Amino acid sequence: MRRLVHRVVHERVAWPNASTLRSLSTAVSSDIYAQKLQHHLLDSDFDTALQVFKAERTNVPPNLMAVMSIVEHLDKTDKARLIQKYTIAFFLKRQHQVAPTLVTAYKNLGISIPQPLLREVVLSLLHENETSRALEVIGMAFRDRVPISADIFYQCFSQCEELSIDPRPFAAMFIQFQKAQLVNFPGLPSLGSVILSVCFSQGAIADGLACVSLLPPSSVDSKKLQFLRQAFEVVDSTETTALHQTLIAFVQVEDDSKAWEAFSLLREKNIAMTSAFLKDIAAALFRLGRQDQANEVFAYALTQNIKMPALAFMLGFQKSRSLSLVAIYRDALRQNLAEPTGKVLSVAMRVAFEHSDSSLALDLKAIFDQQNFTSADKRLNATLEYVARSASHDQDIPPLVIDFVLNQRTSAAMPLFWRLVEAQIDIHGEMLQGMLNAAEAASNAEDLLTYAMKNGVALGTAAVVSSLARWPQDSLAAIAVDLIHANLVQVSPSLIRRINAAAAGDTYAASVALWDLLPRKEDKQEL
């Protein structure tokens, strides 16, 4: 037996170099030093903590360094130990309820809160709903020219919005900081949005505009607030007017009842409106059932060369079925002020037909065809086809086509049939089959089957079977036999049985012979 030899591969170990070892040693010693320092602080052994801190200041983490700087500063004041304990309770023990007391003490002693600790103090005060104290801390930071994170202002304005607090003092403070270049990361996403949102809702419009004027455009990431800002910047916003109140109510509060008033005021003052804003106005008016006013909004967009989105028209068609809106849509498409889509065009054509406006529907069909769109709506396609073919022959035909095909009124079948025959307009299989299914008398069925035979129009087997089932007459059976021999109807056992049941004399003999046309022997035996 062969012995299996397992080779052990010894990988070469890459030992850290001297520089790496020194870095690791420094990191470990730094952690030990910080833990030792923190241990003394938590035990309120401030004397030892200060001795350790004064001996070595280089390996202290930023936040702990900031705490130690306060502890060191307090050591030279009256009631040092008490305030030092409050400091440790807040920053190390996370007892945030002492924040108001701590802020009062720092303010009285003129102690500046270091930047690494400032955010924690302000957010704790906001959490305790001590908004005025948070503003006080920010004021102390400005006094001492301590830079502040934009996130702090974001939280302050958010708190004002949540609790309906007047944002003006924070806005004034923000402007001071921003002008002094003491705000870190002023491009914080949504900062401008939260400022505008609370300022607009509290009527501090000029204050909000002043704040965002000092920020990059990207800080306002809400399109609605961007629109309000642009609208308010072109009017006097030092005082809140009906325009301000109405726009804020519609855009921010989303009060549909203010839609028409907002639109009218902006139009009156010639203030530019965006496509998105007009879409929202129209949607609100449609929801309120004010279709005439909504249509006026679309008409205004057309006169101002504002391109409206396809979904806005779709909503309008679904809500109002307005013929006027269909005409506006056609004109907008012709001027490239609306986006053509197959779905919206199809709905628009249906609405036009509902109002018996074939001319408008055909205008839309021309645009539909130019875009090479296709539709799976067979009834609409058939209506368009026959209306287009008959429009120049007989003006009475399009209403009948609409009535029979789209409205599915069976009583219109035969009047439409005879009008098409008189105008010498070919009737295709699907249309003729639909008429056959809608026939109300045997004579109607006979006329339709005769037309199919004379004009070589193929029919579905089921439609012929259904006619023979309703009217089992020899005349119909005879035409059915002729259609089968002309290969215009496919033979089937059920059709042969119906012909046999309806036939008499020569027709019956001819119907029996039909079994020979079936491909399978077993089918021939079915009688």
Model confidence at 300: pLDDT above 80 = yes
Predicted pLDDT at 238: 82
Q: Which one has a higher pLDDT value, 487 or 92? A: 487
| CATH code for the domain in which residue 320 is found | 1.25.40
pLDDT digits 0-9 by tens, 322-349: 999 999 999 999 999 999 999 999 999 9
Structure confidence at residue 521 (pLDDT)? 54
Taking residues 236-265, what's their average pLDDT?
92
Confidence of residue 520 (pLDDT cuts 50, 70, 90): low
> 296 lies in a domain?
yes
Tell me whether residue 87 is in a domain: no
What domain range includes position 301?
273-369
Note whether residue 60 is domain-resident: no
**Is 215 inside any structural domain?**
no
Query: Based on the structure, what is the number of domains in the chain?
Result: 2
Name residues whose C-beta falls within 8 Å of residue 267's C-beta, 6 or more positions apart in sequence. Answer: 273, 300
24 Cβ partners below 8 Å, 6+ apart? Answer: 16
pLDDT in tens, 123-144: 889 888 889 999 999 999 999 9
What number of CA atoms fall less than 13 Å from residue 501's CA on the CB side? 14
Which helix H or strand E contains 194, and what residues bound it? helix 191-201
pLDDT digits (tens, 9 = 90+) for 180-235: 999 988 778 899 999 999 999 999 999 999 999 999 988 999 999 999 999 999 98
User: Is residue 498 assigned to a domain?
Assistant: yes
More confident call, 482 vs 4: 482
- Tell me, what's the pLDDT at 527? 44
pLDDT number for residue 29? 52
Instruction: Examine the fold and report which residue of 352, 369, 386 is the final residue of a domain before the chain moves on.
Output: 369
| Residue that terminates a domain, selected from 369, 390, 405 | 369
Question: Cα separation of 270 and 253, whole Å?
Answer: 23
Burial of 518: CB neighbours in 10 Å, binned 0-12, 13-18, 19+: middle
User: How sure is the predictor about 86, in pLDDT bands with cuts at 50, 70 and 90?
Assistant: confident
C-alpha gyration radius of the chain: 42
Give pLDDT tens digits for 92-115.
Answer: 888 888 888 888 888 888 888 888
pLDDT of residue 18: 40
CB 152 within 8 A of CB 180: no
Phi-psi region at 264: left, alpha or beta (left = phi > 0; alpha = psi -120 to 50): alpha
Q: How far is CA 100 from each of CA 110, 138, 161, 423, rounded to the nearest angstrom?
A: 15, 13, 22, 93
Cβ neighbours of residue 337 closer than 8 Å, sequence gap 6 or more: 301, 302, 305, 306, 307, 308
Question: Does pLDDT of 117 surpass 50?
Answer: yes
Work out the angle at residue 134's Cα, subtended by the Cα atoms of residues 120 and 98, and round it to the nearest 5 degrees: 60
Across 136-286, where does the E strand assignment appear?
Answer: 148-149, 183-184
Give the model's pLDDT for residue 466.
95
Model confidence at 11: pLDDT above 60? no
Which pLDDT value is given to residue 269? 92
Residue 503 lies in a domain: yes
- Which pLDDT band holds residue 419 (cuts at 50, 70, 90)? very high
Tokens found for residue 116:
């690494």
Per residue, the 3-state secondary structure of 212-237, as one string, reads: HCCCCHHHCCCHHHHHHHHHHHCCCC
Q: CA angle, 171 as apex, 166 and 176 as ends, to 5°?
A: 145
Q: For 347-394, how does the pLDDT look when each residue is reduced to its tens digit (9 = 90+)? A: 999 999 999 999 999 999 999 999 999 988 999 999 999 999 987 777
Residue 404 inside a domain? The answer is no
Q: How far apart are CA 141 and CA 74, in angstroms?
A: 18
Domain boundary residue among 350, 369, 388? 369
In a domain, 478, yes or no: yes
And the tokens for 389?
A: 């073919």
pTM: 0.76
Q: Which two tokens stand for residue 278?
A: 């007009």
**pLDDT, position 181:** 95
* More confident site: 521 or 289: 289
